[in-house]
Amino acid sequence: MKIFKDKKIFSSNIGRTIISLLMGFFIGALILAVAGYNPLEAYKVMFLGVFNKPKYIVQTIINSTPIIFTGISIAFAYKTGLFNIGAEGQFIIGSITAAILGYLLHLPHLIHVFLIIVVAGLAAGIWGGIAGFLKAKFDINEVITTIMLNWVAFYSLNYIVQLDSLKKPNAEATYDIQQSASIIVLEVWKKSKEGINWLNEHLFFKDIFKTRMNWGILIAILIAVIASYIIRKTVLGYELRSVGHNRQAAEYGGINVSKSLVSSMMIAGGIAGIAGAIQVMGISHRISTLSVMEGYGFNGIAVGLIAGGSPIGCIFAGLLFSALNYGGGKVQYILGAPTEIIDIMVGVILLFVAVPKLIALFPRLAIIFSFTKGKMGGEDNVD
């Protein structure tokens, strides 16, 4: 079979990701068919649900922004051999910081936004660094510590929301952040008389500005580029990758492994914290009491894995994940198909991404199948 001759397709990260995506869509189609839905019609609805209108595309991008950040966070820690389950808690710490500083401070717009991003990143970085320190000092598994820290962050948020100085009367939420802390694109202008008149004359842009379009996606792309540069082009990145490949060899080579572990988790935590700050400044403008975790950090795990641990890849993986979920909602609304099918598709994709050796076996299985088929055919001819 010609398709299996080039084994590079199955051994490269990109090749495995593409095959994983195809397998996910294939399994999803089978489930749709068994459930009595036309798979082609469902995928058509999903596609149009994302690309049929400009505001759908923009909303997909908006939804992808936080999981791109958390995906980068997961990918960065993964380079050091760490599994940062704590992106959810770090996200929460970033959102708490943004809500407090966004409401209490009164600063010029750019300074206010920049300060919030920096402080939120530092706060969440310290939060992530706790797990890194415990791993480096006492060899406590980072998965356990980050899960526990997620819950500490979760209940800390609910406590902070109830503080009299922050809680909005008759609401389970804090006061809104100041206008100077918002990163929604042209927020003041589009609400002005001039803006309303202009948008009424340009319906294409009016449709787009109905969303809470913000600068978060550009910041996410910038963070992805910086993270990729650090990993690939700096001494710190070399040390982190060395520790990720082989800690004993890295230590023998003179690398401070403990420092690398803490640094990796601090940077990963900082990135997830910026995600929380962006979500507050660009979407919610406040934090509210949580009954369950919002899942941005956990979805970031899926994004990071689909991206193969590449910060740049997280941009595309985040957009794909967002499109699947946003388009999947349209499938449920129009066709009545359960959105759980989308979760199954993502699960199948992750299964094949997480088990690369399974895909690497495809060429060998094809060769064995072809050989067996040929041999059986030969035996039939003898008979």
Identify the weakest region by mean pLDDT among 53-62, 281-290, 342-351: 342-351
pLDDT at 1: 47
Instruction: Compute φ and ψ for 167, nearest 5 degrees.
Output: -75, 130
Q: Which residues of 92-116 are buried (b: 16+ CB within 10 A; e: fewer)?
A: bbbbbbbbbbbbebeeeeeebbeeb
* Statement: residue 223 has pLDDT above 50: yes
Question: For residues 94 and 33, what is the distance between their CA atoms, to the nearest angstrom?
Answer: 43
Q: How confident is the model at residue 363 (pLDDT cuts 50, 70, 90)?
A: low
State yes or no: pLDDT of 256 exceeds 80. yes
Asked if residues 32 and 268 have their Cβ atoms less than 8 Å apart, the reply is no
Domain ranges of the chain: 38-336
Q: Where are the alpha helices (DSSP H) in the chain?
A: 8-11, 13-34, 39-51, 54-78, 87-104, 109-138, 142-161, 187-191, 193-201, 203-209, 216-233, 235-245, 247-252, 257-279, 296-306, 311-335, 340-354, 356-360, 362-382
Averaged pLDDT for residues 244-253: 86
Is the pLDDT at 219 greater than 60, yes or no? Answer: yes
pLDDT band at 345 (very low <50, low <70, confident <90, very high): confident
Cross-strand partners of 288: 173
Residues sharing a CB contact under 8 Å with residue 148, sequence separation 6 or more, in sequence order? none
Q: pLDDT tens digit string along 139-184?
A: 999 999 999 999 999 999 999 999 999 999 999 999 999 999 999 9
347 or 287, greater pLDDT: 287
Residue 179 CB coordination number (10 Å): 14
Tell me the average pLDDT across 29-37: 86
pLDDT at residue 267 above 90?
yes
- CA pseudo-torsion sign 105, 108, 111, 116: positive
Tell me: the pLDDT tens digits for 301-310?
A: 989 988 888 9
Return the higher-pLDDT residue of 119 and 308.
119
62 CB burial (10 A radius; 0-12, 13-18, 19+):
buried
285 sits in the region (left: phi over 0; alpha: psi -120 to 50; else beta) called left
- Give the closest residue to 89 by CA, choosing from 121, 127, 144, 134: 127
Please write the tens of the pLDDT for every residue from 310-334.
999 999 999 999 998 898 888 888 8
**Mean pLDDT estimate for the chain:** 87
Q: Is the pLDDT of residue 361 over 60?
A: no
Band (pLDDT 50/70/90 cuts) for residue 382 is very low
Degrees to nearest 5, angle at CA 253 with 249 and 256: 90
**Rounded Cα–Cα distance for residues 368 and 383 (Å):** 22
Helix (H, G, I), strand (E, B) or coil at 288: strand
Q: What is the per-residue pLDDT for 159? A: 97
How far is Cα 144 from Cα 381, in angstroms, rounded to an integer?
Answer: 61
Write the CB contacts of 29 (distance below 8 Å, at least 6 apart in sequence).
39, 43
